[in-house]
Each structure stands twice: as structure tokens, then as C-alpha cells.
Amino acid sequence: MLKPYISSHLWVLGSFGERYVPNGYYEDMKLEKKLEAMSEIEGYNGILVFYPSDPLPDDPDKIVKMLANHGLKVANTAVENFTDRKWRHGALCTNEEKIRKENIKLCKEAVDFTAQIPGASLRIWPAHDGFDYPFQVNYEEGWKYLVDSYRQICSHNPGVKISVEYKQKDPRQRQYISNIGKMMMLFNDVGMDNLTGALDTGHALMSQESLAEDVVILAMHNKLNEVHLNENYRDSDPDLIFGTIMFWENLELYYYLNKYKFSGWHEIDIITPRDDRIKALRLAVKMTLKYDELAKRLLEHRDKIETNLGGYHFSDNMELICDLLFK
């Protein structure tokens, strides 16, 4: 069976500045030290690269070579179109034509950048595309602009996969692509084969979803492109260390990722302002591999598990699983 390819963005070793501690909980770590630390973690394979790519080089070939020198790969790419105030009304859905066109141009540049990296796909998170109050936005207009923006970007190079990451809220109180159902609606309305989904476990938990069911929905429609791994208590998105809270949900997630032979990147997406950053990343990688290992153990008994599912024999399944895991 496939072994997970595990990645993260550089921010997992960042300073973690936020509104309560704007200057961050740590001093920023030098790029070289980040790469060195990541390369020394067993089971860690690659880095998500943002576009624009600072602090990494702006040439894709140079990035590939730099990471290769540390035994790492470029996992995927993502557009940085959410940290500037100009995107506050939404980069994709805004009725401000100049801003919307600027974002589309930026995203098309990111598509060209991504096309030069073998096997990479591009993530476009609709971070500010939503609303906060009743009577604040024109919902129909916003949705139409959102669909048109994604369609233009996907059409630029249909050979490059584009991933959408849904989220219930934050930074907006209500985001247009807030759950798996609305993301599937977006796929339908855009109508492009290269538009795919990023399943962020924290976002799915916050939306009160089943992680395993989400995998099935996306896999059934050939839309599961990447998985982001973090934790929460289903009430917000603090990006806690993956594998530390929702044991059964995470186990079922990995059962189905293995069942559907998921071959994309497993991206660690955590924030650890009160713990050692490198140790936290190492723990998240270790937990990912452990859940994968446990799930593979269950899949050796897939016929029995699936028979119990078919007969709605929950107690029998849990007894079987407990006997297999807790010896």
C-alpha cells in the first residue's frame, strides 16, 4: 500500500503573530534553519510553496533545486491573495472589477509558475469571499463572480489542477464556500475537470462533518486532490496538532484514504505558539504515520469490516477494531 507523502508550509515554523500577540510568540526562524529542521524529520517529504514565493526564490527551478539539496520536494503551491487589505471584500467574488481582475491575473501567473513544477497543483483559498452581516452583500452577484473567477483561472491551463479549500468562517463570519456541499456546488457550476478539492480536517470538523464521509464524497467524484491535517474541538479553527484529539474520526479518515488509494499530499497545517515548533511538527508527522499504520492494519480485515457496515453492525465492528488495535 501507498506510504503517505507528508508536507507542510514554512509557516508551521513561523513566529505565529496574531491579534493578541501581533509580534508573534517566537522570533522568526531563518529559512535555512527551517529547511534543515524539516529535512531531519523522519517521514517528512515536502514543502508547500506560496506564490509569490518569498522567502524562497522566485524561479521554480531554483526552488526545486534548493529543496532537493535538503532531500525535500515541492509539494504543491498556493496563491497568497489574502494578507493584503485590498482583498477585504473577496479576491474572487468582489464586485470591484479592478480588484477581481488583479486577482485573476495573479492566479493565472501562479498557474504558469505551478506548471513548471512536476506534479504540483495550485490551491486557491477563497479566504475573504463571504460576508459578516445580513444585508451586507448581494449573494447572487457574489456567487456568479466567484464561479466566473474560478472558471477563468481553470481555463488558463486545464493541465494544472486547481484546489479549492472550504471553510465555515474566518476571516469572514460566513464564507461562500463554507462546507463540502457548497464546494461540490462550486465544482458543478464552474464545470472544469481540473477544479478539485482540498480537505482540511480542521475546517471539516468545524463544519460538523464526518472526515471519512468527506473523503468518500470527493473520491466518488474524482475531486480529492490534497488533505490538510490539524485538529480542533469542532467549534473553531486553531490548527491544533493533528492526531491529538479526534482519535476515532482520524482513524476512520485514514481507513478511507487507504481504501480509496489516495496518492496526494498529506499537508501538516498547524500553529503551535506555546510549544516547541520543531517538536510539534515532528509529532504531527509521527501521528500521521501512526494513523496510517493503524488504518492499514484494519484494511487487512476489510472484508469483515465492510460486512459489518453492510449489516449496520456497529458494535461488532467496534469490538473487532478494538481487538485489532488494543492488544
pLDDT averaged per 10 residues in sequence order, the chain, 327 residues: 92 95 95 98 98 94 97 97 97 98 98 97 98 98 98 98 98 98 98 98 98 98 98 97 98 98 98 97 98 98 98 98 94
Contact 272, 241 (CB under 8 A): yes
CA 267 to chain CA centroid, nearest Å? 6
Strand partners, 230: none
* The pLDDT of residue 267: 98
Instruction: Name the H helices within the chain.
Output: 31-39, 60-68, 97-115, 139-156, 180-190, 201-206, 211-220, 247-259, 277-299, 302-310, 314-325
* The pLDDT of residue 327: 78
Name the CA dihedral angle for 269, 273, 279, 281, rounded to a multiple of 10 degrees. Answer: 10
Domain annotation for the chain: domains and CATH numbers: 5-299 (3.20.20.150)
Per-residue pLDDT reduced to its tens digit, 147-192: 999 999 999 999 999 999 999 999 999 999 999 999 999 999 999 9
* The pLDDT of residue 285: 98
* The pLDDT of residue 106: 98
Q: Give the global pTM.
A: 0.97
Query: What is the C-alpha separation between 4 and 57, in angstroms, rounded?
Result: 27
User: In the 8-state DSSP scheme, what is residue 240?
Assistant: B
| Residue indicated by cell numbers 508550509 | 9
Q: Which residues contact 308 (CB under 8 A, 6 or more apart)?
A: 314, 316, 317, 320
* The pLDDT of residue 2: 81
